[in-house]
Structure 1
């Protein structure tokens, strides 16, 4: 299942190469990157490095090679610009030794303008750069993705309040395909290990990295398994393993597919989100002109905004109906393969990471997420 290395490693490689050039080391066409909390190094290829701005800065360039055909960061060009800033003797309170700057094409959080970077990526940079920074200096590190802003339009970043480019959110060294059958097997294995321990019969399946992060922020007191796009087969596996309740926790733009009977949720397999919402709007007898308007939209978030402007109550009712439909269609899907009374609960959050809706079963657990 390991196909290549995640984006943070290529950023760290270009950064280390740039900093080494800045302090006088000769150029190597690779860097050995230390992995936090692991006793191993990974060899990362460097495309080029050079001094710029009168030799006061150094530019390192690498190309991400995740090894995943459907990964938007595959072959992404990465620039890192390193410069040193002398620590003032009069400044008693020193800032972080590495100032990570979001350059062109790198995503920032819409509300705070902070760079969108995972803790793993930060640790990786610190572990691989601190030993090179000369004593008495801090490092300014600007990260640039020349094609990042364009590529970000093909992601759901804006749905999570990330603007201006691609985020650096890898949480491990290796890359994994959420569409790969191996990803399903890993989730099954994790579920099997969970059941062997002091398992109470309830498990949360979180959809994607954003779902996992939000669930951890909520400090959910239930076991959590991050799942990819093979939701249907994994829910069936849970029923076979006699799990009592599966709680599906995710972004509305992902979980809505289950309401339409799409149980492999990768966009390259099927989309249909607007079509599903239009069907539910017809079931609710919404005005024809509103339904036609919904059918012309590109994203579920745009549709929600249109519905809320039309009537807040109707919008809430429709999305609660969506949550119920997710539960019902999922239960029917599982019972096509194994007869079970396992409960399936759906809890959905919106683009602002606000937990908004739940189905009938989800109502019993939504308090766990607040």
Structure 2
């Protein structure tokens, strides 16, 4: 499997280099990054480092090397600006010694304005920076992705309530392509292990890291497997393993592809989202002028907003039909390879991370998802 290192490691490398410069240590063109709870270090290349603002701040720069050709963060330029802040006597017991700041191009949560960073990314920073921070100080660490806001427009970040840039959501040190066949094998292995251990016959499949992150915020009473973009082959594998029910939980911009018979959902391989919605609109006899406007839009979210401005009831009916079609086409896909009466349920959320639609089967499983 083609692999590299995740974004949190490149951020940590730039941050460590900047911090070392700030305390007077010499520059090296690489940093050894320790991985939390693992007995290994990973060598991260550093582009440059320098002092700023009368030597009170230090800037470290790295370029992410995920090793994945289709990864949005491949070659991403990363700036980290480090500065110390003295702790007053009354705050000497403070345990949060690193203040992580979202700079330009770094995503924040729309509802709270907090930086969108995974627990793993925070752990990597703490693991590698804490022992360099002088006693009596905290570290203010600003992370900047100079091209992040532009690149974020090519992602589904906004669909998950993340605005202004790219999130730092890696959950492991190494990266794996969701378009790689080996990623499918990894998901199959996870499913095999699941069905061996007191399995109740039902499983939730989610697409990608953002979908997984959202699913984990629900008190889901079912096991969850991240399936990447290999949805179709993994559903077939589930049928072969005699899984009774697969719940497809995902963002409308991904799951709509299944309604059009596209069962590998990576954008570089196939899109067709607007075309599928136009087809549904034609079947529903939506006026031609609305269909014409739909056909010129770039995103499914824009299409939804257009339809809702025309008629909320028609928009709701179209997306309900879409949910049913996802279930129907998915089962038909599976039955091309193996005869099964496995149940496939679809539950779809929108850009505000709210569950909006479900298919006829999906209606029976919404109660399994409880948002905080």
TM range (shorter): over 0.9
Q: Confirm or deny: 8 A CA contact 2:92 2:136 kept in the other structure.
A: no
Query: For residue 264 of structure 1, what is the aligned residue in structure 2?
Result: 264
Distance 1:282 1:95 in 2: 60
Q: Does structure 1 retain, via aligned residues, the 8 Å contact 2:2–2:68?
A: no
Contact preservation (8 Å) 1:34, 1:127: yes
Tell me, yes or no, if structure 1 residue 366 matches structure 2 residue 352: no
Aligned mates of 1:246, 1:319 — CA distance in 2: 20
Deviation at 1:71, TM superposition (A): 0.7
Structure 2 partner of 1:314: 314
Alpha-carbon distance in 2 for matches of 1:269, 1:362: 27
Q: How does 1:134-213 map to 2 (within 5 A)?
A: 134-213=134-213
Q: Please show how residues 181-260 of structure 1 align to structure 2 within 5 Å.
A: 181-260=181-260
SS at match of 1:130: helix
3-state SS of 1:347 partner: strand
**TM-score after normalising by structure 2:** 0.97
The one-character-per-residue Cα deviations of 1:217-254 (angstroms, maximum 9, x if unpaired) are: 11101111001111111111111111111110000000
Q: How many residues get paired?
A: 370
Q: In the alignment, is residue 11 of structure 1 matched against residue 34 of structure 2?
A: no
Q: Provide the rounded CA distance (Å) in 2 between the counterparts of 1:262 and 1:2.
A: 24
Deviation larger for 39-48 or 77-86? 39-48
* Separation in 2, partners of 1:82, 1:228: 35
CA offset digits 1:122-162 (Å, max 9, x no partner)? 11111111111100000000111111112112112222222
- The secondary structure found in structure 2 opposite 1:264 is coil
Deviation at 1:95, TM superposition (A): 7.1
Alignment correspondent of 1:35: 35
What residue ranges of structure 1 are gaps of 5+ in the alignment?
A: none
Deviations 1:153-180 (A, max 9, x none): 2112222222221111111100010000
Alignment of 1:71-90 (within 5 A): 71-90=71-90
- The DSSP-based 3-state class of the residue aligned with 1:43 is strand
Structure 2 residue runs of 5 or longer lacking an equivalent are none
Q: Which residue of 2 aligns with 1:284?
A: 284
Deviates more, 1:101-110 or 1:131-140: 101-110
Moved more, 212-221 or 325-334: 212-221
Q: Do structure 1's residue 302 and structure 2's residue 280 form an aligned pair?
A: no
Partners of 1:102 and 1:230 in 2: how far apart?
A: 33
Alpha carbon RMSD of aligned pairs, Å?
Answer: 1.2
Give the TM-score taking structure 1 as reference length.
Answer: 0.98
Q: Which stretch shifts more, 78-87 or 155-164?
A: 155-164
CA deviation profile, 1:98-117 (whole Å, cap 9, x unmatched): 11111111111222221111
Separation of aligned partners in 2, 1:236 and 1:292: 36
Deviations 1:38-65 (A, max 9, x none): 1211111111111111111111111110
Secondary structure of residue in 2 paired with 1:199: coil
Q: CA deviation at 1:92?
A: 7.1
